[in-house]
Structure 1
């Protein structure tokens, strides 16, 4: 029996739905037949989360993530994922609040980048992820990656498209073109690969939009969860 995967989702549900799909498809490929993943998801109201994020109420957000993690632990999850990059800002506090391990979203992504031989990466994500040290610092300190983020005006474009369009499933060709231009500027600055460091960006950006490889945190995180669940089966 595989381990039970806990998922804190809803940030946004658009990307959480892809987590569920990727995890179950990968589990079926690993185990064959009609197998699927043993999983629990606690899905938050992103309207509340988004408001607290932009109000800068990280204490309130931490309390909500701790509550969600504890619910998953009580429900029987063997380990858990926070299905968003931004909310890993409080990963340490959330992990410390439960006895089951957290699979950090940056780790499988950074490991894949390093395994592919890349040392300098461009990072796209919310302003919180691109500008605060909780994410870029982990990539640098734990994995030795040199992380480039877009210039201020480009960061604003990336952030606004996420919150105004992607979290509600609005995928626009004009926004794809804008992201492609921002990626090109990161490549011109020396980025050897691009981390799609927001779980919604995979809805918009495709390999054809970049001259260098893309590393999608949603897919890599979900696949790492399957590997852990299979490896830990009793």
Structure 2
């Protein structure tokens, strides 16, 4: 099996989900008498809350370099928003970063979806690192909540979900946003925050959901089990 480097900590709740899924998915393939080789670096979430783009990018580069030197054959960033560092970090290391947008696209294409709703943090929804990659590399369009709802969509994540709080108020809000996105043409909804699948389940709505955590872990599982050429 290939050694996978993991960058987690934003938040530790979602990092646990990644670790659990990777072990379960690999176990489903090769049996539970084995488990995958994983190298986890859990950073302090304070880094993201400081909102210093240069510090964030350089910190992720430093961590990715450490993981590469330690023998990782690829890296997975265990959250959606930190993928904003991808274009800065990837050219400076010699192993691939498994991009979460590519995992989303693979599942969307399997179902024939061309237009997706996106829920996540404000940087994830308004930035180009996820929407841009989906459009330019995979020809998939994305819709985000109306401007009046952007801040509230972000605040539930930053002030509740990443703190391990999962309330009915937050759940009702996101279900309403999903319906609004569907009415605007979204064929499925990207749960673009790794805590959202912990709040919203497929049984909560008839709208198709794309669980980025699970899809990303599936992509990583394929890499872990891929034979070296």
Question: Is TM (by shorter chain) over 0.5?
Answer: yes
Report if the CA contact (8 A) 2:81-2:121 is conserved. Answer: yes
* Structure 2 Cα separation of the partners of residues 212 and 143 of structure 1: 22
Q: C-alpha displacement at 1:200, in angstroms?
A: 1.4
1:192 paired residue number: 187
Correspondence 1:119-198 to 2 at 5 A = 119-198=114-193
Q: Contact (CA 8 Å) 2:116, 2:142: kept in 1 or not?
A: yes
Once the two structures are TM-superposed, the CA of residue 132 in structure 1 deviates from its matched residue by 1.3
Partner of residue 93 from structure 1, selected from 78, 81, 88? 88
Which has the larger displacement, 141-150 or 17-26?
141-150
* Partner of residue 209 from structure 1, selected from 195, 204, 212: 204
Superposed displacement of residue 33, structure 1? 3.5
Q: Residues 1-23 of structure 1: CA distance to partner in whole angstroms, max 9, x if unpaired?
A: x0001101001111010000000
2:26 alignment partner in structure 1: 27
Aligned counterpart, 2:48: 49
Structure 2: how far apart are the matches of 1:58 and 1:232? 37
Gaps of 5+ in 1: none
Partner of 1:37: 36
Q: 3-state SS of the aligned residue for 1:133?
A: coil
Preserved CA contact (<8 Å) 2:47 2:56: no
Q: TM-score, normalised by structure 1?
A: 0.94
Give the match's secondary structure for 1:7: strand
Instruction: Confirm or deny that 1:18 pairs with 2:11.
Output: no
SS class of match (1:134): coil
SS at match of 2:97: coil
Distance in 2, Cα, partners of 1:142 & 1:79: 20
TM-score by length of 2: 0.96
Q: Distance in 1 between matches of 2:47 and 2:127?
A: 21
Cα distance per residue 1:48-77 (max 9 Å; x no partner): 3212x2xxx211100110011011111111
Distance 1:233 1:26, change over 3 A: farther
| Shift in Å, 1:233 | 4.8
Alpha-carbon distance in structure 1 between the residues aligned to 2:196 and 2:27 = 25
- Aligned residue pairs, count: 229
Pairwise CA RMSD of aligned residues? 1.2
- Which residue of the partner structure matches residue 62 of structure 2? 67
Query: How far 1:113 moved relative to its partner?
Result: 0.6
Q: Per-residue deviation at 1:116? A: 0.7
Structure 2 unaligned blocks of 5 or more: none
